[in-house]
């Protein structure tokens, strides 16, 4: 594929390599050095002049350092005369900070969008934003992919005749609708209440028929797991036969993996937008790759073809 190069930040090199394999190109060579004063230096180790360059970096720990590394890479590529630079963020940083719902707070997702443009990104490619309105934060073109079809293709291999899709909270209703349509299943909604990130979310009601059903809880991400575990207990207490879950982003913060291992949740299907460290993997987690999807989107962007056509 001429004129196309893909580089990887430090956050998820295995995904970047998989994307390159799917594209049939070698991963671009770059090197990040962390000095004793904690400053980072990125060196692009091959010519990128007039190239169409994509940089893969996802939002995972160490988050601030990964964000900064991406910004420095974008700057280095721009100043190395790349023709166009696209930041590929499978999981967008600070996506949950998307509104001013308290006085004197930052809308940090918008700040992230500004920083990417200021550092030299000409475009952004991201996936399953916490709220689709974040797309409006960008002054540069932003392509928004979804991992829902990848997950549904996988789920369809199972017997779903007794299943119902359950939105883990009403804010997730639209995405849950996408799951339900693709899987041709009925839908139900959990009413979840919480007031802050630290307060455990509680499922307080379910709207829809879940009695004796195999519930498939869906959400954009699992972070502390509070939403999923509370919903699982609630659904089982309300008469569900079993509960499993599907999310695009397996954030699995803190001890979520341990809680998952001990919860009544049967299995968790997720994608590899975020790497799951080996110590957090449990036999309940199934990880599906979105590398081919991203590679196809990169090819289309490179060729000037529609990206939205991928999801019709
Ligand atoms: C919330 O609005 C999101 O859609 C998820 O439900 C939330 O991010 C999950 O977080 P946790 O796993 O910490 O409950």
pLDDT for the residue 194: 74
Q: Which atom of ligand 1 is nearest to the CA of 169?
A: 6
User: Do residues 233 and 187 share a domain?
Assistant: yes
pLDDT for the residue 12: 98
| Angle, helices 63-79/108-119, rounded to nearest 10 degrees | 30
Q: Which atom of ligand 1 is nearest to the CA of 168?
A: 6
- Per 3-state DSSP, what percentage of the chain is helix, strand, and coil (rounded to 5)? 35, 25, 40
* Site to substitute for ligand 1 among 220, 225, 233, most atoms within 8 A of C-beta: 220
Share of the chain above pLDDT 90, in %: 94
Tell which wins on pLDDT, 45 or 202: 45
* Site to substitute for ligand 1 among 221, 226, 228, 259, most atoms within 8 A of C-beta: 221
User: Do residues 181 and 240 share a domain?
Assistant: yes
82-103 pLDDT tens trace:
999 999 999 999 999 999 999 9
User: Do residues 189 and 267 share a domain?
Assistant: yes
Range of 29's domain?
4-146+291-311
User: Do residues 281 and 171 share a domain?
Assistant: yes
For the chain, the average pLDDT equals 96
pLDDT for the residue 198: 55
| Alpha carbon of 307 to ligand 1 centroid (Å) | 28
User: Do residues 161 and 198 share a domain?
Assistant: yes
Q: What is the pTM for the complete model shown? A: 0.96
Tell which wins on pLDDT, 169 or 274: 274
User: Do residues 158 and 37 share a domain?
Assistant: no
* Site to substitute for ligand 1 among 99, 222, 254, 285, most atoms within 8 A of C-beta: 222
User: Do residues 123 and 31 share a domain?
Assistant: yes
CA-to-CA separations, 213 to 104, 181, 187, 238, in angstroms, rounded: 45, 18, 11, 10
CA-to-CA separations, 275 to 58, 139, 279, 291, 312, in angstroms, rounded: 9, 29, 11, 12, 28
Q: Is 85 helix (H, G, I), strand (E, B) or coil?
A: strand
CATH number, domain at 202? 3.40.50.2020
| Alpha carbon of 151 to ligand 1 centroid (Å) | 18
Q: Is 18 helix (H, G, I), strand (E, B) or coil?
A: helix
Residues with CB under 6 A from ligand 1: 168-169, 171-172, 201, 219-227
How many CB atoms sit inside 10 A of residue 276's CB? 17
Nearest CA residue ID for atom 13, ligand 1? 224
260-299 pLDDT tens trace:
999 999 999 999 999 999 999 999 999 999 999 999 999 9
Q: How many helices (H) and strands (E) does the chain have?
A: 8, 14
User: Do residues 278 and 222 share a domain?
Assistant: yes
Residues whose CB falls within 8 Å of the CB of residue 258, separated by 6 or more in sequence, listed in order: none
Q: Which atom of ligand 1 is nearest to the CA of 256?
A: 12
56: confidence class by pLDDT, cuts 50, 70, 90 = very high
Which DSSP symbol is given to 304? T
| Res 48 pLDDT > 70 | yes
pLDDT for the residue 171: 87
pLDDT for the residue 200: 79
> Alpha carbon 292 to chain centroid distance?
15
Q: Tell the residue number behind the tokens 């475009």, with chain if given.
A: 123
Structure tokens, 244: 């499993």
19-41 pLDDT tens trace:
999 999 999 999 999 999 999 99
Domain count along the chain:
2
Give dist(CA 178, CA 149) in Å, integer: 9
User: Do residues 14 and 142 share a domain?
Assistant: yes
Give dist(CA 252, CA 211) in Å, integer: 29
181-226 pLDDT tens trace:
999 999 999 999 876 655 678 899 999 999 999 999 999 999 999 9
pLDDT for the residue 196: 61
User: Do residues 296 and 278 share a domain?
Assistant: no
User: Do residues 284 and 295 share a domain?
Assistant: no
| Alpha carbon of 189 to ligand 1 centroid (Å) | 15
Q: Which atom of ligand 1 is nearest to the CA of 192?
A: 6
| Alpha carbon of 160 to ligand 1 centroid (Å) | 25
User: Do residues 188 and 236 share a domain?
Assistant: yes
């Amino acid at each position: 594929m001429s004129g196309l190069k893909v580089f990887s930040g430090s956050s998820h090199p295995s995904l970047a390599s998989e994307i390159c394999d799917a594209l049939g190109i070698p991963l671009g060579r770059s090197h990040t050095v962390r000095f004793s004063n904690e400053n980072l230096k990125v060196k692009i180790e091959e010519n990128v002049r007039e190239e169409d360059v994509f940089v893969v970096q996802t939002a995972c720990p160490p988050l601030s350092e990964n964000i900064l590394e991406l910004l420095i890479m974008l700057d280095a590529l721009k100043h190395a005369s790349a023709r166009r630079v696209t930041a590929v963020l499978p999981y967008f940083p600070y996506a949950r900070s998307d509104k001013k719902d308290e006085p004197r707070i930052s809308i940090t997702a918008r700040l992230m969008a500004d920083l990417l443009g200021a550092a030299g990104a000409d475009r952004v490619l991201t996936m399953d934003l916490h709220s689709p309105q974040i797309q409006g934060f960008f002054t540069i073109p932003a392509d928004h992919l979804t991992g829902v079809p990848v997950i549904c293709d996988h789920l369809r291999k199972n017997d779903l005749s007794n299943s119902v899709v359950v939105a883990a909270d009403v804010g997730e209703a639209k995405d849950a609708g996408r799951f339900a349509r693709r899987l041709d299943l009925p839908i139900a909604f959990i009413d979840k209440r919480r007031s802050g990130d630290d307060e455990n979310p509680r499922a307080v009601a379910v709207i829809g028929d879940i009695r004796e059903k195999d519930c498939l809880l869906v959400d954009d991400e699992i972070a502390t797991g509070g939403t999923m575990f509370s919903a699982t207990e609630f659904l089982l207490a309300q008469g569900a036969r079993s509960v499993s879950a599907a999310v695009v982003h397996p954030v699995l913060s803190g001890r979520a993996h341990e809680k998952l291992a001990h919860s009544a949740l049967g299995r968790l299907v997720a994608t590899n937008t975020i790497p799951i460290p080996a110590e957090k993997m449990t036999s309940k987690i199934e990880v599906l790759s979105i590398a081919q999807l991203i590679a196809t989107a990169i090819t289309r962007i490179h060729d000037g073809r529609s990206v939205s056509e991928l999801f019709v």
